[in-house]
Amino acid sequence: MTLTRSERAPLVTDAIPPALRRHGIVPRRVFVCCLVGALVLALFASRDTPGWAERLGDAPLAHQLRGIAGDWDETMEQLGMIRPHETLRDAVRRLLGWQWGGDNR
């Protein structure tokens, strides 16, 4: 007796339909998605790049990256791309300032 392809497939518990499961994504698309994500982070999270570069250590490349990160942050500030980051950071500060306990006597 020969089993069909669906009978040979392992039992899965997620909600991905079998037709979509059989057609995986190609590595090129994964790379493009990662690249787009990195660009979005570079645009809207430039305020965090100088701090990230400071934690790289004392290697010569780290010194160069610090300069690039600082220049990038200044450029994004001039273009007004830091506003979403600052708005989100201010909202988080306000939330953290609230008392989250129920009865604080």
State the amino acid at position 57 in one-letter form: G
pLDDT value for 27: 87
Burial string for 49-74 (b: 16+ CB within 10 Å, else e) reads bbeebeeeeeeeeeeebbeebeebbe
Per-residue pLDDT of the chain (105 residues; tens, 9 = 90+): 676 776 666 666 677 777 777 777 788 999 999 999 999 888 888 898 888 889 988 888 999 999 999 999 999 999 998 998 899 899 989 998 886 655 555
Give me the residue label for tokens 């790379």: 31
What predicted TM-score, i.e. pTM, was given to this entire model? 0.58
Residue 47's H or E segment, with its range, is: none
pLDDT of residue 11: 63
